Chain A
Amino acid sequence: MAAETDRTSLTAACTAAETFTKLYYEFVDKMRHKLSKLYLENGKLVWNGNAVDGNNNIQKFYEDLPPSVHILNCLDSQPVREEAVGKQSTIQVTTAGFVTLKDRKYPFHQSFLITAKEDKWKVVSDVFRFQSTPS
């Protein structure tokens, strides 16, 4: 079986997550036209159970959403284990906070699976959920 995850990988995962989420939420809130660059071409978004495939479609999906303002309260990241992804550098990032959409504030949590492709981190999977289905 593969060995324990070392400190370097752990630290690298943290740094990558911090940088990535900073960019991501800035784009989602202010520059949605730049979102597609963050996803793999065949990346996947599951937004409250609605699935969207492909980076361009994902960007379009976000562009169609009302303007958003995200506040991030929680952030965590782990390097994905070798038994899952082999040598392919991948990190799992979870975030939580509040998002204001159309003057309503929703608590949300979001889970990313991000992989390295030619020196750039790209999102493989993006799962976004409101904590509670609004009534």
Chain B
Amino acid sequence: MSNNRGRHQQQPRNFLIHAKSDGSRHYYEHDDRGSDRNGGGSGNPGGKGGYRNAYHGGGKFRGGGGRGGRSNWDDERGSRYPDGHWRGGGGNSSGGSGYAGGGRRGGRDGSGRGHRGPQYKNNDVEMSGSNKNRYQDMYKHQGRRRDRGPRPPNMNNSLGWHKIIIREASDLNQQEVLEAIRELVREPFIPILYGLEGRSLVFYLEDNGSACQAITEISRRITMPSGQRLSIYSNRSPPPNRHLTPPERNHVTQIMSHRYSVELKRLDLKNFHNDPTLVKEGIFCPLYRLPNMQIIMDIVVSNVPSVEEIDLSYNKLHTLEQLDRLASACSSLVRLSLKKNKLVNEMSLDKLNGLGIVELTLEGNPVCDKFRDSETYISAVRKRCPKVMFLDGQDLPKPIGFEVDDEVSTLPTSIPQYYVQSSAKDLISVFLQQYYQIFDSNNRKPLEAAYTQHALFSLTCNFPETGPGAKYTGIYASENRNLRRVRCNDRRNKLMVQGRPAIASVISSLPHTTHDAASFTVDVSVVEAQLMVAVVGGVFRQVADHSPPIRFFSRSLTIVPEGTGFCIANEQLYITSATVDQIKRAFKEPAIAPVATSPTAAVESPTSDTNAARLKQEMIVKFTEASGMLPQYSELCLEGSGWDYQKAAEMFTKLKAENKIPPEYFPQNTSP
């Protein structure tokens, strides 16, 4: 790299950067590891300019290709580290990543510095012992530490592949060497593809930065029986890629058969490539390599097609390619675990299409975090595997599918009245009639007697807060005890009306009404000695000067015997706007209250009001006839024109010509 040349001059001979034919670079071990870190990644500030010149820190690795590039083979890592971290380029054969410097430090730390101060003091470092090293020694802390801030813990380096290289070890006994290393190194590790490479013994470590670090640290501390000191260093490395030879394939088949339980019909492929036997045999068969997965699937399909459970967890799978063969070949498969793999997007699940599995484990895959909520997650899974009932160990709600026949799901017809006991019918009818007679009159006080002494009454309503539907709803809104809106306990309690006087008072304050008894639905679901439960619903008109709105109500009553009659102990009144349907049908038959004059109803209304009201009524009738609209809409129109008949008529004609009058304003030909 050209930008390194200048710096090279300052390096002791040990800092040799070789570009290997595969593009990776080997950085020979030496204690100034920090410097490469500085350089590592783009945008290394390197603190002082001088420092940068002094150490081939900075630019050295900056130019190093592939910096910040993502490793193809390890998506997760690529995304994990910030751009510019030399690690980003690391592991890229395209990227030139010989960061052996990381070796002693066990890989890189986040900022690419990762050196350990104290360690340098007593390192058995493979140094040429030149002053320059000490110089670098002195400075390595300052530059780096200062400008990069606190070092991330070395754990960050723990993932990815490292290659451990033991130099000049071709004459040594491999097992002895391995044992010697194991003795000194506390961290457990699995040496993958341990063998001779040129004059060095090499093996690979997967996701074990701490072991890598530990192993390289003991370099030069091991002396073999022959007197040779082991010189160990490490690189970042792409995962080794070896094709399985036919004899290796046989081994794999054998191992798989050991991992298959005949009684449970279960194939355990968990963390397959680290299977101890495979490692021992020096066979590296990671399932995330597609050719290997294909081989495995070949074996499964031809040997155990009746398998019921497969465990594919911890295999770093980023695709489920090849698993689609299971759908056709292994129809008995009911349980599948894909736990802790590297599936990133929903599309990867498509390979599971058609699998009849009932139990699936997907947790530990990045894809799981991609879903907005568990519902979307579950339905995404079920889209491919509709029979899944257990996902990640959780019982799923039974899928409500669309396999239902049309005939099955017709709704039962509604029946307007229900009485669990027919005797209740008469009772309730009389009760309601009396009640509404008073309710629809001008004086509701007598209703007090309809309640028990400490009866409870509460009102809920559902109206829009603004707009035409909100008209005249203020009274209801102020008493609204809708628990979904009223969250404060104090207010909830306050809105509960207790006792006769209070109830009578609240009821009296509600707007005047006219109820349409013909619209009533009555359900008496419980009749017992001490109580009756009745739910009454229907339509009423709220008396108002202008366009009285039609409302819908539902009262839930708990009624108890009292004296010779009955009283309400609990009442919940719900009020909302009537539907268009209901408005159309309302009051087709003469309404009860205003027309029927009962001797007890003492109506005192000032004559002027009555006159005005009568006049308006006449106007409405005339307008209705002329326009053909339903009375309430004629009323609306008249009211909108300030009860100026002429004006209203003109307005109507104009709107009708423009087709702006909604059809429901007119009586329909087919009345429901």
The chain A residues found within 8 Å of chain B, CB to CB, are 1-5, 7, 10-11, 14, 17-18, 30-33, 44, 46-51, 64-67, 72-81, 83-86, 92, 94, 96, 101-102, 107, 109, 111, 113, 124-127, 129-135
Contacts and interface: CB of A to CB of B under 8 A. Distances in A.
A126 B420 CA distance: 13
B161 interface: no
Nearest to A7: B493
Most buried by A among B413, B521, B535, B581: B535
Contact of B526 (A3, A14, A113): A113
B450 to A, nearest CB: 14
Given A14-B489, A96-B574, A111-B535, 20 more contacts: A4-B454, A5-B496, A7-B489, A10-B496, A14-B483, A17-B483, A30-B400, A32-B398, A44-B420, A50-B412, A66-B409, A72-B484, A73-B482, A78-B570, A83-B560, A107-B579, A124-B526, A125-B533, A127-B523, A132-B581
B535 A127 contact: yes
Given A74-B482, A80-B570, A129 B456 contact: no
9 contacts: A3-B454, A46-B523, A49-B415, A76-B572, A83-B530, A86-B530, A94-B572, A113-B558, A130-B414
A9 B408 CA distance: 43
A13 B461 CA distance: 19
A127 B420 CA distance: 12
Interface string B242-259: 000000000000000000
A49 B576 contact: no
B569 A83 contact: yes
Nearest to A18: B483
Contact of A135 (B482, B530, B533, B581): B581
B452 interface: yes
B462 A132 contact: no
B482 A75 contact: yes
Contact of B462 (A3, A65, A73, A80): A73
Nearest to B584: A135
Contacts of B582: 131-132
Nearest to B499: A4
B415 A48 contact: yes
Interface string B426-466: 00000000000000000000000000111110101110000
Contacts of A133: 414, 416, 672
Contacts of B404: 66-67
A4 B497 CA distance: 11
B227 interface: no
B499 A10 contact: no
Prevailing SS type, chain A contact patch: mixed
A19 B494 CA distance: 22
Interface in B251-302: none
Contacts, number: 187
B558 A131 contact: no
B556 interface: yes
Contacts of B418: 46, 49-51
B433 to A, nearest CB: 20
Contacts of B416: 49, 133
Contacts of A124: 526
A114 to B, nearest CB: 11
Interface string B565-577: 0000110101010
Closest 8 A/B residue pairs (Cβ): A49-B415, A135-B672, A66-B409, A48-B414, A81-B569, A111-B556, A125-B525, A84-B531
Interface string B658-672: 000000000000001
A1 B498 CA distance: 14
Nearest to A111: B556
A101 to B, nearest CB: 7
Contact of B417 (A44, A49, A132): A49
Contacts of B409: 64-66, 102
Interface in B77-109: none
B151 to A, nearest CB: 49
A33 B397 CA distance: 9
Nearest to A131: B552
A15 B572 CA distance: 17
B324 to A, nearest CB: 30
A31 B417 contact: no
Most buried by A among B415, B420, B456, B462: B456
B306 interface: no
B554 A81 contact: no
B411 interface: yes
Contacts of A83: 452, 530, 560, 562, 569
A92 B558 contact: yes
Given A66-B404, A129-B521, A76 B574 contact: yes
Contacts of B526: 44, 113, 124-125
B167 interface: no
Contact of B556 (A10, A33, A75, A92): A92
B558 A77 contact: no
A129 B414 CA distance: 8
